[in-house]
Amino acid sequence: MQITCDRLTIELGHTEIVRDLSLKAAPGAFIGVIGPNGSGKSTLLKCIYRVLKAKSGCVYLNEEELESLTYKESAQQLGVVTQHNYYNFDFKVSEVVLMGRAPHKKQMERDNTEDYAIVYDALGKVDMYDFKDRVFSTLSGGEQQRIILARALAQRTKCLILDEPTNHLDIKHQLQIMELSKKLGVTVVAALHDLNIAATYCDYLYMLKEGQVVAEGLPRKVLTEEIIGSVYDIRAKIIEDVETSMYHIAYLPNIG
Amino acid sequence: MEEIREYSCERREKFKIVDIPHKMQRMGMPVHVGISILLLLMVLLSIVIAVTIGSTYIDADVVYEVIMAEILHKTTEISTAIHDVVWHIRLPRLVLAVVVGGGLSVCGIVMQAVVQNPLADPYILGVSSGASFGATLAILLGVGLAFGSGYVGVIAFGGAFIASLLVMVIANVGGRANSVKLLLSGTAINAVFSAFSSFLVFFANDREGIKNITFWLMGSLAGAKWSDIVVIYVVVLSGVFFFLSQYRTLNMMLVGDETSITLGTDLHKYRHIYMMVVALMIGFIVYASGMIGFIGLIIPHFMRILFGTDHKKLILVSFLIGGLFLIWADVLSRIIIPHTELPIGILISMVGAPCFIYLLVRKSYGFGGRN
């Protein structure tokens, strides 16, 4: 499934947060959206997952205009992991994940064994099967984040939208979530803070600043010392490890 | 995708043994259904027992003879006075208690979901003040006398319904309604209607009328009539069955609008439908029994402590427990002080609140907060 954003402009309370932005995620590609705080990453993603409406421009899933789909139809194709998931009521973990099956259900349809199998499968994939009977609100931030990913997996969609999926996670689970999302082979659009994570896992990067794309391309083309320096207003150094041919970004302190 | 399928099959095999919900589904009966059947039997049993209890002593055999005679259309030699006490006073009251208690509990659960707030009760969105304003108009100014002896209830029903509609309209002014806007407009409408009620009371100079309003607001099942009960059962049970079918959307309401959209449901439409259905159910309940408070708040929480938050399990058991609770609360209110009937609302709060507090303290129930 291909996601295309065509010249999106998004306003929040009369301020343009995203301006004339175009983005394309080819089927099966892992697309990273990076940029400093307030650069419009989350706003862009919110527009793709339909919580915000664009002032102008359009989002397409394959050839179809997103706005022409019902919410149910789009939820069958887009799984979403957002940043803030605080619930005022005590849900069990398995109940939260089971909600991921909702887009595939008719109003009166009951949950069947297949749905439970998918739920437990998703929980297994994020390493949280043993937590299935725990109360969601008693889990730590990182554990909650993994449950929300499991819910998106339970949707069995061809695209995933991840809004800073590695927030609150320890290193192991940061890598695990990224690897898992990549292994699924679905189209992923992820807003990421950690440039090293972006360099390691993304096929293609969009660097945003003040609501516009300032650089795009393969990670090694976008994550250069010059571009990082000018966008984030810091000094960065790129280190390439000979042994693993890994690409690392080090941030240099201004003092000393 | 193929890979995922394979993985899930393999998992399914593995979980067959340990997976309890699975097992029960295969047995054809989830726990909550079993409990519901048990509770239904308890409700019936409670009616049968409670009908023998009352301020005038009537032998249990005589009570059952009257009921059987009515059901089987037979004639008996029992005096009309006793017959009337059993068939026209005690039994309808108990039957009404079930539907009022159950209806209030279910509406409480739904309202808590609609406004996404554990403090909500069935009356929160304008219903309480709308109903009391209606009752005040009826009692003090004689509005609606044309509706016959139940006119106070009819006008209260109207007040409650109009107030909920107003809350919905106001919450939608200047953008789509959300749970916070609903709560705020509910509070505002409550304030306006309460002020009107107070205004009337202040200028009425009618001691008897004011006393009547106070009594009416405390709620009572004493006015139960078979003809009303039929209508109320139809309305409230239809509502309960409707909400039984809506468990998935109700669950979704608790996780909020944004997440719901990503899961394929736009809550906006459902909120309005649910509020209308609740307003209708509560309107009829208020018509029959005035304003019985607290039950619509505590039963939902009791049930969440016992059964969790999933509405699939909550709705039916809450209806039955609510009914059961109100049967016995009503019995207690009739016998606790000899020759006096304590208003049931007072009793529920006096007995229910401490129990509720006890449960809160003993069980680590976080209302969704972190324990």
Task: Report the chain B residue with the minimal C-alpha distance to residue A102.
Answer: B263
Alpha carbon separation from B121 to A160, B162, B294 (Å, rounded): 38, 18, 8
Q: What share of chain B is helix, strand, coil (3-state, %, to 5)?
A: 75, 0, 25
In a domain, B33, yes or no: no
pLDDT tens for each residue of B101-129: 999 999 999 999 998 888 888 888 888 88
B153 token code pair: 């209830």
Task: Report the chain B residue with the minimal C-alpha distance to residue A122.
Answer: B8
Give the residue-averaged pLDDT of B81-92.
Answer: 87
Cross-chain residue pair B262–A156, CB shorter than 8 Å: no
Rounded to 5°, the CA angle B244-B250-B251 comes to 115
Which residue reads 């309604």 in tokens? B177
In a domain, B29, yes or no: no
Residue partners of B230: CB distance under 8 A and separation at least 6:
none
Residue A203 contacts residue A42 (beta carbons within 8 Å): no
Comparing CB atoms, the residue among B251, B264, B310 nearest residue A75 is: B264
Classify residue B264 as left (phi > 0), alpha (psi -120 to 50) or beta: left
Chain centroid to Cα A141, Å, comes to: 17
In a domain, B92, yes or no: yes
Question: What does pLDDT average to over chain B?
Answer: 84
What residues in B contact A136, CB-CB < 8 Å? none
In a domain, B109, yes or no: yes
CB pairs under 8 A between A and B: 130
Cross-chain residue pair B370–A138, CB shorter than 8 Å: yes
- % pLDDT > 70, chain A: 98
| B14 has pLDDT over 50 | no
- CA–CA distance, B135 with B200 (Å, rounded to integer): 11
Cross-chain residue pair A103–B264, CB shorter than 8 Å: yes
CA atoms within 13 A on the CB side of A189: 28
pLDDT tens for each residue of A108-144: 788 889 999 999 999 998 889 999 999 888 888 888 8
Which residue reads 């259309």 in tokens? B73
CATH code, domain carrying B255: 1.10.3470.10
In a domain, B135, yes or no: yes
**Dihedral over Cα of B85, B86, B87, B91: its sign:** positive
What's the pLDDT band for B364 if we cut at 50, 70, 90?
A: low
B296 token code pair: 């619509």
pLDDT score at B361? 76
Residue B201 contacts residue B320 (beta carbons within 8 Å): no
Which residue reads 């996670």 in tokens? A169
What's the pLDDT band for A215 if we cut at 50, 70, 90?
A: very high
Residue B264 contacts residue A75 (beta carbons within 8 Å): yes
A17 token code pair: 């947060």
pLDDT score at B325? 93
Phi and psi torsions of B308, nearest 5°: 85, -170
- CA–CA distance, B156 with B290 (Å, rounded to integer): 8
3-class state of residue A247 by DSSP: strand
Best mutation target among B1, B20, B259, B304 (most A Cβ atoms within 10 Å) is B259
pLDDT tens for each residue of B308-342: 888 988 999 999 999 999 999 999 888 888 888 88
Give the residue-averaged pLDDT of B271-276.
Answer: 90
The candidate with the shortest Cα–Cα distance to A155, out of B111, B154, B4, is B4
Cross-chain residue pair B261–A51, CB shorter than 8 Å: yes
Which residues 174-213 in chain A show a CB within 8 A of chain B? 184-185
Which residues 71-100 in chain A show a CB within 8 A of chain B? 71-76, 78-80, 82, 85, 87-92, 94-96, 99-100
Give the residue-averaged pLDDT of B349-358.
Answer: 81
Boundaries of domain holding B274: 39-362
- CA–CA distance, A116 with A232 (Å, rounded to integer): 45
- CA–CA distance, B280 with B227 (Å, rounded to integer): 18
Residue A166 contacts residue A192 (beta carbons within 8 Å): yes
In terms of DSSP bridges, do strands A235-240 and A212-217 run parallel, antiparallel, or are they unpaired?
Answer: unpaired
What's the pLDDT band for B369 if we cut at 50, 70, 90?
A: very low
pLDDT score at B314? 92
What's the pLDDT band for B368 if we cut at 50, 70, 90?
A: very low
Per-position DSSP letters for chain A, written without gaps between them: --EEEEEEEEEETTEEEEEEEEEEE-TT-EEEEE-STTSSHHHHHHHHTTSS--SEEEEEETTEEGGGS-HHHHHHHEEEE-S----SS--BHHHHHHGGGGGGS-TTPPP-HHHHHHHHHHHHHTT-GGGTTSBGGGS-HHHHHHHHHHHHHHT--SEEEEESTTTT--HHHHHHHHHHHHHTTSEEEEE-S-HHHHHHH-SEEEEEETTEEEEEESHHHHS-HHHHHHHHTSEEEEEE-TTT--EEEEEEPS--
Give the residue-averaged pLDDT of B3-22.
Answer: 44
For residue A36, give how far its alpha carbon lies from the nearest alpha carbon of chain B (Å).
24
Which residue reads 């006490």 in tokens? B85
Across A215-224, B6-15, B168-177, least confident range: B6-15
Alpha carbon separation from B123 to B195, B278, B314 (Å, rounded): 17, 10, 19
What total of structural domains would you count in chain B? 1
pLDDT score at A56? 92
| B16 has pLDDT over 60 | no
pLDDT score at A31? 94
Across A5-9, A108-112, A114-118, B73-77, least confident range: B73-77
Residue B55 contacts residue B339 (beta carbons within 8 Å): yes
For residue A25, give how far its alpha carbon lies from the nearest alpha carbon of chain B (Å).
19
Residue partners of B209: CB distance under 8 A and separation at least 6:
B139, B140
Per-position DSSP letters for B318-337, written without gaps between them: HHHHHHHHHHHHHHHHHHSS
What's the pLDDT band for A75 if we cut at 50, 70, 90?
A: very high
Across A19-23, B22-26, B115-119, B245-249, least confident range: B22-26
| B25 has pLDDT over 60 | no
A247 token code pair: 């690409």
| B64 has pLDDT over 90 | no
Q: What share of chain A is helix, strand, coil (3-state, %, to 5)?
A: 35, 30, 35
B32 token code pair: 């909550």
Pick the CATH number of A3-252 from 3.40.50.300, 3.90.550.10, 3.30.70.120, 3.30.470.20: 3.40.50.300
| A62 has pLDDT over 80 | yes
A175 token code pair: 């890598």
Cross-chain residue pair A89–B254, CB shorter than 8 Å: yes
Residue A20 contacts residue A9 (beta carbons within 8 Å): yes
Q: Domain map of chain A by residue range?
A: 3-252
Across B146-150, B163-167, B200-204, least confident range: B146-150
| B184 has pLDDT over 80 | yes
B34 token code pair: 């079993």
pLDDT score at A129? 93
What's the pLDDT band for B58 if we cut at 50, 70, 90?
A: confident
3-class state of residue B366 by DSSP: coil
Residue partners of B229: CB distance under 8 A and separation at least 6:
B92, B95, B96, B99, B288
Cross-chain residue pair A89–B118, CB shorter than 8 Å: yes
Cross-chain residue pair B266–A107, CB shorter than 8 Å: no
For residue B128, give how far its alpha carbon lies from the nearest alpha carbon of chain A (Å).
25
pLDDT score at B102? 96
| B253 has pLDDT over 80 | yes
Residue type, B310: D
A133–B contact, CB cutoff 8 A: no
| B370 has pLDDT over 60 | no
In a domain, B244, yes or no: yes
pLDDT tens for each residue of A19-56: 999 999 999 999 999 999 989 999 999 999 999 999 99
CB neighbour class for A256 (10 Å; exposed up to 12, middle 13-18, buried from 19):
exposed
The candidate with the shortest Cα–Cα distance to B290, out of B340, B204, B224, is B224
A247–B contact, CB cutoff 8 A: no
Cross-chain residue pair A121–B7, CB shorter than 8 Å: yes
Residue B68 contacts residue B83 (beta carbons within 8 Å): no
pLDDT score at A88? 67
What residues in B contact A105, CB-CB < 8 Å? 248
3-class state of residue A22 by DSSP: strand
- What ipTM score was computed for the predicted complex, to two decimals? 0.87
pLDDT score at A154? 94
What residues in B contact A116, CB-CB < 8 Å? 19, 21-22, 25
In a domain, B86, yes or no: yes
pLDDT score at B365? 59
What's the pLDDT band for A102 if we cut at 50, 70, 90?
A: very high
CA atoms within 13 A on the CB side of B286: 32
More confident residue, B6 or B252: B252
In a domain, B14, yes or no: no
pLDDT tens for each residue of A157-210: 999 999 988 888 889 889 988 998 898 889 999 999 999 999 999 999 999 999
